[in-house]
Each structure stands twice: as C-alpha cells, then as structure tokens.
Amino acid sequence: MKNIVIIGSSGGNLFNLGGAKPVQLLEEILKQAHAAGLNVKNIQFIAAKESMDTAKSNTDAAIYGYKENAVLPLFEASLKEVNHEAAKLDQMIADSIRNGEVDGIIAMSADTKAVNKETLTAAIERKLPIVGTGGTSMAAMTSMGANVISSSGTTGSTSRTRAISFISSLCKHWNIKFNPIIGSYEKAQPTNTATWKNINIRGIMVSSLPGFIAMALILAVSQIPALKGLTDIFDLMINALPVMLAVIAAKQVSELDEVSIIAGVIAGVLSVQGGIIGGIIGGIAAGILVQFFFRKCIEWKFPITTVNIVSGGLSGLIAGLIVYYLIGPVALQAGNLIKEIIEQTVAFNPILAGVLAGVLIWPAILGGVYHAAILPIVLLEMEKTGNSFLGAVDMVGLVMVAAGINLANIIAPRDRGESAVAAPGFLINMGFGTFVESAYPFMFSNKIVFGGALVSAGLGGALVGLFNVRGTAYVPSFTAPFLSNNITGFIIAMAVPLIVAFLITLAANKLPSKQKAAKKSEDKVAV
C-alpha cells in the first residue's frame, strides 16, 4: 500500500476556524485515497482567516492534521503561532519521508520557503511524485527540482473534483486502478456503478415542491386587484420550473455538486419548451453525461479546471440540445395529454371523480404510490394553472382527515399517552399542510378509524368535485383556500372531512377495545 502526505495552506473563503470547510476538502481527499487503496500517512494543512497574500502575523489561523483516522484542528491561534507549530510537524513529516515511510505528496498552495520547506526538501531528495494546486508554489517546487507529475489551478473546481484529480494522477503514476467515489459520505459509490441507479423521480419531485408552492403563492397574491401585475411574475416562474427540475435531477444523478448544477441549468434553459417533463429528462441526461465526461477527462489527464468546464458545460449543452430539438415537443405533448385526461375525467362527473380520488388517495400513500404517481400529476396540473384538482383532494382527503383524527385523540384519547402523540401531528398538519403519517398509529390500531378516514376523504373529494376546487397541500391550512380558485368552496371541502374524521374517531375511541374487553373477561373469570 502506498503512503501519501497532504500539505498546504489556504485562506479567505475556505477558512472557518474549527469548522467544516477545510475538513470537507481534506476528507474528500481521504475518501478518494481510500477508494484507491492509498494510505494517508499525515496531514499538515494551515487555514487562515484572510487570504495568504494579505494575511498578517496576528491573523486568526488553524493547523489541521490527521489524528485517530480523522481530520482535526490540532492548534488554533494567530498565524505566527500556527506557523511555529506547523514547522515542528513539517520536520516530523520530513523525517518520515527520509525513513522511506512516504511514497507521494499532495501539495495545495504549499509554502516552499518556510512551513513546508523541510517536507519538500526531503521529497526532492527521494524523488517522490508530487501533485497539487497553486500556480506559484507548484512552479517554485519544479524549479527546486521536485518531481511534480501533475499541477492544476482551482478555477471552476470543487473539493471533490480536486481530490479526484490528485488521487487519479498519483494512481496513474503508480499504475494503480482507481475508481473515483462520487456521492455523499453516507452513500458514496464508485463511478463505475451504473449511474441510472441514481435516477429517482420521487426524489426529484419532492425536492422541487418548494418551487411549485412559491408559484402558487404568487398566483394567489396576483388575484388581489392592486397586485395584478404579478401575473407576469407567475408566467416567468412557470418557465423557470423546467430549469429548477433539471438542476435537481442533474445534481441527484451525478452527485458532483457545482459541476452538475451548472450542467442542469444549461440543460434546463434549453428544455423549457418541453415543460417539467422535458426539464426532468434534460436534467437526468445532463447528470449522466456529467459523470461520463468527468471520468473520461480525468483518465485523459485534463487539468481539473478543464475537466469541470467540459463535464459541466458540454454535458448540459448536449443534454439540452437533445431535449430542445428531439424530446421537448414530445414531452410537452405528453404533459398536456396527462392534464387533459385529468380535466376530462373531472368534467365527466366531478363528484364521482372526487369521491374516487378521495377514497383511493389513502391506499395510494400507504402503498407508496403517492409520490411516484399522484405527486407528479399534481405538479403537472400546477405547471399550467398554479393549483390542482388532485392537490385539493390531497389537502382535504389526507391533511384534513389526519388533522381530524389527531384532534379526536387529543380531546378524548383511548389511552393516556396517545394525546401527547397526537398533538404534534395535529399542529403540523394544520400549520404546514403535511405530516399525514401522524394518523397512521390510530388508523392501524382501529379499523373504525381507518374506515372513517376513507369515508371522510371520499366526502372531501366529493365536495372538491362539487365546488370545482383547484388547490394545493403543503401549505398552512389557513392559507390553502386563498391559493385555490374557489375560496369558499375549499373552506367547506376542508372543514367537512376534518369534522367527520374527528367525530368518527371520537366515537371509535369511546367503544371498548378488544384488549379492555379481554381484561374484563379475565377479571370475571378470576373472581
């Protein structure tokens, strides 16, 4: 196993005394090194509050090292004091290099004249391969006779892309196979894993909800006569939705942070004519291409800045042009067709459509179908009008019913502890328009409550159909009617299922449970 040492310094926006930014960069290098089978022998990294070009002796600074298999701030003080401590670590690393315990160096804006001088001198003596960033310091190392095998700038790069570039260059030098790790620390996966496994339509839709809710708020405010001018803002936000979805999709698929965000923006802008379906397809394609081009450019030893430009810019451009010329028109028609089917179904018999939607929405969310099937349709409806038939059914059939069940268990719980469980659920459902899962314990433990939820939801759906309501959930209940096309109708449609679910649950709680009946029977036998 090859041993490496990380040295360097940075200041300005990277610095956060005792914080995460230097740690994020160094831990990313550790993660990639581990993927390559390399061992990090030691770290000497100095972070200053100001740019190293302007930092003074009294500038706040910290030295980060490698201790107990973790990146930790070893010493925090003024830059003068930190440099003094760093010199001791510099000598220690130099000794380990001369003892043959180190095989390579990663240097990031290393100080060739002071705190990294001994390390670099020892590395030159043993002709160790050095990779890193920092134009001035890398040039100085080369002039000193260092074996610099790769040097690149930091423009347009991220912690992850820099780390991959460093480790890839060392592995190329040693003929070691390296599959970079891409993803969060919790669920990191090598880039040779099929990228399509990262595609998660549910995750994309859920992450995009805030944008749709913001659009609905603009629509509601624009109904005020004095604020009619906001309708132009609403139209602008509709056009921004595909871009938002493309960015989310690209980032989730590629997991390459800023590089994938740029690719998603470019693809999204070119996918606007395809609606939200076009945006999702463009973003997914951009995410896949980002990983492909990133991996290839690293293999071809492109400078890291060029790697990011190619993988971010070119990926977004190719994906966006494909959607613009080929997929966009079809995606737009598909979205319009889905919305037309919903509209025609509701128009045929709105009350029946509402009843069916209300009754089926609970089995859908319990069976995991809601986020995969219903939520995308809700967002497709909102893309056109800013509110939705199924969105209204969601509010009355799920949120209000859950709130009614919770309220009954606050006022008259079957068991003493249930009141404390139900209270947060009621407050969240009423205050935020979500957390219907809070009703599950009461529904699963009592068939009457479960049946009452279905009845209440069906009744709420029927009222949505009767009043031709279009609305949304995921907002405070007292604001939801103002985001709909029928304020009075939505208030009625929300209040009725809440009251019905409340009364049915209240009645069910007053009935003796099987456990209590069994206990009474046992007591009688005992007597």
Alpha-carbon 451 to chain mean position: 36
Q: How far apart are alpha carbons 316 and 321 in whole angstroms?
A: 8
Q: Name 32's bridge partners.
A: none
Residues whose CB is less than 8 angstroms from the CB of residue 173 and which lie 6 or more positions away in sequence, other chains included: 104, 129, 149
pLDDT tens-digit readout, 161-171? 788 888 888 99
End-to-end CA distance of the chain: 77
Please report which helix (H) or strand (E) contains residue 190, including its range. strand 189-190
Q: Is the pLDDT of residue 401 over 60?
A: yes
Please give the DSSP secondary-structure letter assigned to residue 151. E
Q: Is the pLDDT of residue 508 over 60?
A: yes
Instruction: Taking residues 163-188, report their average pLDDT.
Output: 77
**DSSP letters for 262-314:** HHHHHHHHHTGGGHHHHHHHHHHHHHHHHHHHHHHHHHTT--HHHHHIIIIII
183: left (phi over 0), alpha (psi -120 to 50) or beta: left
Residue 229 has φ and ψ, to the nearest 5°, of -65, -15
Q: How far apart are alpha carbons 137 and 135 in whole angstroms?
A: 6
Q: How far apart are alpha carbons 470 and 464 in whole angstroms?
A: 8
* C-alpha pair distances (Å), 353 with each of 57, 383, 401, 413, 474: 73, 21, 18, 34, 22
Instruction: Taking residues 118-132, report their average pLDDT.
Output: 93
Please state, rounded to an integer, the average pLDDT across all residues of the chain.
Answer: 83
Please report which helix (H) or strand (E) contains residue 130, including its range. strand 129-133
Burial class (CB in 10 A: 0-12, 13-18, 19+), 140: middle
Question: How confident is the model at residue 183, as a pLDDT?
Answer: 58
| Number of continuous H segments (helices) and E segments (strands) in the chain | 21, 9
Question: How confident is the model at residue 6, as a pLDDT?
Answer: 93
C-beta of residue 18 within 8 angstroms of C-beta of residue 62: yes
* C-alpha pair distances (Å), 376 with each of 17, 63, 208, 350, 399: 44, 49, 10, 21, 18
Question: How confident is the model at residue 432, as a pLDDT?
Answer: 86
Q: Which of 140-144, 299-303, 316-320 shows the lowest mean pLDDT across its residues?
A: 299-303
Other beta carbons within 10 Å of 307:
27
Question: How confident is the model at residue 186, as a pLDDT?
Answer: 43
Structure tokens at 214: 């913001």
3-class secondary structure per residue, 39-73: EEEEEEEEEECCCCCCCCCCCEEEEEEEECCEEEE
Q: How far apart are alpha carbons 266 and 282 in whole angstroms?
A: 9
C-beta of residue 316 within 8 angstroms of C-beta of residue 279: no
What angle separates helix 328-348 from helix 275-299, to the nearest 10 degrees? 150
Question: What is the pLDDT confidence band of residue 332, given thresholds at 50, 70 and 90?
Answer: confident
Q: Is the pLDDT of residue 20 over 70?
A: no
* C-alpha pair distances (Å), 100 with each of 39, 40, 112, 356: 14, 14, 21, 75
pTM above 0.75, yes or no: no
Question: What is the pLDDT confidence band of residue 527, given thresholds at 50, 70 and 90?
Answer: very low
Instruction: Taking residues 41-61, report their average pLDDT.
Output: 78
pLDDT tens-digit readout, 220-243? 777 777 777 787 888 888 888 899
What angle separates helix 375-385 from helix 328-348, to the nearest 10 degrees? 100
Q: Is the pLDDT of residue 343 over 70?
A: yes
Q: Which of 7-21, 93-107, 133-147 shows the lowest mean pLDDT across its residues?
A: 7-21
| More confident call, 522 vs 504 | 504
Q: How far apart are alpha carbons 516 and 43 in whole angstroms?
A: 65
Question: How confident is the model at residue 231, as a pLDDT?
Answer: 79
Instruction: Taking residues 261-271, report their average pLDDT.
Output: 93
C-beta of residue 374 within 8 angstroms of C-beta of residue 393: no
C-beta of residue 500 within 8 angstroms of C-beta of residue 403: no
Question: What is the pLDDT confidence band of residue 187, given thresholds at 50, 70 and 90?
Answer: very low
pLDDT tens-digit readout, 60-109? 888 888 877 778 888 888 888 888 888 899 999 999 999 999 999 999 88
Question: How confident is the model at residue 525, as a pLDDT?
Answer: 43
Q: How far apart are alpha carbons 398 and 359 in whole angstroms?
A: 10
Question: How confident is the model at residue 513, as a pLDDT?
Answer: 61
Instruction: Taking residues 376-398, report their average pLDDT.
Output: 84
Q: How far apart are alpha carbons 389 and 346 in whole angstroms?
A: 8
Q: Is the pLDDT of residue 185 over 60?
A: no
| More confident call, 4 vs 137 | 4
Q: Which of 369-373, 425-429, 466-470, 508-512 shows the lowest mean pLDDT across its residues?
A: 369-373
